[in-house]
Homo-oligomer: A and B are copies of this chain.
Amino acid sequence: MDDDVTFAVLGTGGIGRRTLDVARHKDGLTPVAACDRNGVAVDHDGLDVEELLDATEGNIASGPEADGDTPATPTDDYASDGGLASHASETSSEPGSDGGAAAVEGGSVGDGTASDGVKQAGEDAGIVASAQGEPTETPIDDVIAESDAIDAVLLALPNLEHDFIPRVAERFADASYEGVLVDVLKRSRVIGMLDDRADTLESSGITFVCGAGATPGFLTGAAALAAQSFVEVESVEIWWGVGLKSGYEDNRGTVREDIAHLDGYDIERAREMSEAEIEDLIEEHDGRLEFHDMEHADDVLLERAGICDAEDVSVGGVLDVRSDEKPTTTTVRVTGTTFDGERGTNTFELDDATSMEANVNGPALGYLKAAVLRNRAGDYGVYGPAEVMPSF
């Protein structure tokens, strides 16, 4: 059996870059394409990941008008809604995904030549700073054009319009792509949008695993498994800890998004805060922000899998921006009743030593590999992380 998997990454922000990095530690995963807003790199024999990561380190294509606080101008191919409003609900555990914002935080001084607003090298140049990168105005179409030879595509796109990922999936289907799509950023409403397109994706021969990061993703899967002792699940509590000292600068955009989840805050208010106001708020909390009842897609994904009602799922956690130690242990607790009438709570706990990055990107690639096996077996459609056991 041919177990080798070729894959592409759309987006080279935190998650895209780490996906390429983690894949180096996995057997049989060959990255053959990557793109960002302004560039694309394709090599069907396998990208030189080291060169690509070196060239793009601290250097994420932000586009001509991207900005941390105001919407970037949407382009035909790589539209953006400006970041804040789009996925405030899930990035707390995936701060590195926030490629666009991170790039902006990194500074706006390019040392290369911009043509049509595209920086060709250095900061903000993104993938075109790599020897493997080519500038393009249609990065996603460029990857689709190569997709006959690509088994799977990880959509690691920065903050974009709510229906951006569903629309990207549809474009793959329109091109009769037969393969796997996986995304790691998933707000609840997007899942419905993907379900609306399930027939189209299935007809094309696409196996789509949505919400395949840490939460939703890994921890959703753990909840689904832990539920197996029970015939009735009364609650699922997902509680995460993230220590983000060294990653703080790269993740200011995400921290701002998380603030929208605090009592007395919402997306609008968080969006309007100045950097100084955010620093004051963080200072007030001694660097630790604690979140309760976050709007995470785990709820929809567990309900979709028939495990419990969405309202029985709660997600919260603690983000510490002044320490890389986790401020609390990431835990999933599933409480239910067994067929013989006993009530109990099964627990899944991640070691504090496992970073958020390890817990997002390992599972993302695990779900990707599993989806490829299903796709090769002829199993198409839209799946959530509560329905698929990730491969190793």
> Using a CB–CB distance below 8 Å, which chain A residues touch chain B?
18, 21-22, 25-27, 218, 221-222, 224-233, 305-307, 338-340, 342-355, 357-359, 361-363, 366, 370, 374, 377-381, 386-392
A353-B342, A353-B344, A387-B391 as given contacts; A362 in contact with B225, CB under 8 Å: no
| Additional 8 contacts, C-beta under 8 A, given A228-B362, A230-B362 | A22-B231, A27-B306, A224-B389, A226-B348, A228-B363, A228-B366, A339-B358, A340-B358
CA distance A231 to B392 in the complex (A): 8
* Given A348-B348, A351-B345: A390 touches B358 (CB 8 Å cut-off): no
For A379, the closest partner residue in chain B by CB is B377
| Bound complex: CA A86 to CA B229 (Å) | 27
List of B residues within 8 angstroms of A357 by Cβ: 339-340
Determine the distance from Cα of A376 to Cα of B349 in the docked complex, in whole angstroms: 34
Residues of B contacting A352 with CB < 8 Å?
A: 344
Q: A26-B231, A362-B231, A378-B378 are in contact. Are A354 and B344 (CB under 8 A)?
A: yes
Copies in the complex: 2
Residue of B nearest to A329 (CB): B347
Once A359-B229, A363-B228 are accepted as A-B contacts, the answer to whether A346 and B339 lie under 8 Å apart by CB is: no
Pick the contact of A338 from B221, B229, B230, B355 — CB < 8 Å?
Answer: B355
Bound-state Cα–Cα, A370 to B353, Å = 33
Query: Does the CB pair A306–B378 fall under 8 Å?
Result: no
26 CB-based A-B contacts, threshold 8 Å: A18-B339, A25-B231, A218-B225, A222-B226, A225-B390, A229-B350, A229-B354, A229-B362, A230-B354, A230-B358, A230-B362, A306-B392, A339-B358, A339-B361, A339-B362, A340-B355, A340-B358, A342-B353, A342-B355, A343-B353, A345-B351, A348-B348, A370-B387, A374-B379, A377-B380, A389-B389
Which among B232, B306, B351 is the interface contact of A346 at CB below 8 angstroms?
B351
Asked whether, in the complex, the Cβ of B354 is within 8 Å of the Cβ of A342, the reply is yes
Give chain B residues whose Cβ lies under 8 Å from the Cβ of A389.
221, 224-225, 386-389
Q: Are B349 and A346 in contact (CB under 8 A)?
A: yes
Greatest chain B CB density within 10 A among A18, A232, A347, A353 is at A353
In the bound complex, how far is the Cα of B349 from the Cα of A89, in angstroms? 28
Give the residues in chain B near A351, CB-CB below 8 Å.
229, 344-347
Q: Which residue of B lies closest to A343 (CB)?
A: B353
Residues of B within 8 A of A222 (CB): 225-226, 348
Is A338 in contact with B353, judged by CB distance below 8 angstroms?
yes
Contacts of A349 in B (CB 8 A): 346-349
A240 to chain B, nearest CB (A): 13
Whether B392 lies near A25 (C-beta < 8 A) is no
Q: Which residue of B lies closest to A384 (CB)?
A: B389
CB-CB nearest in chain B for A354: B229
- List, in ascending order, chain B residues with CB within 8 A of A226's CB: 222, 348
Complexed CA–CA distance, A23 and B347 (Å): 24
- Within the complex, what minimum Cβ distance (angstroms) separates A374 from chain B? 6
Given the complex of chains A and B, what is the CA–CA distance between A355 and B230 in angstroms? 10
Structural contact, B353 and A228, CB atoms closer than 8 A: no
A317 CB, min distance to chain B CBs, angstroms: 16
A321 to chain B, nearest CB (A): 19
Query: How distant is the Cα of A374 from the Cα of B377 in the complex, in angstroms?
Result: 9
Question: By the criterion CB–CB under 8 Å, are A392 and B228 in contact?
Answer: yes
A353 contacts across to B, CB distance below 8 A: 338, 342-344
With A and B bound together, what is the CA distance between A133 and B201 in angstroms? Answer: 47
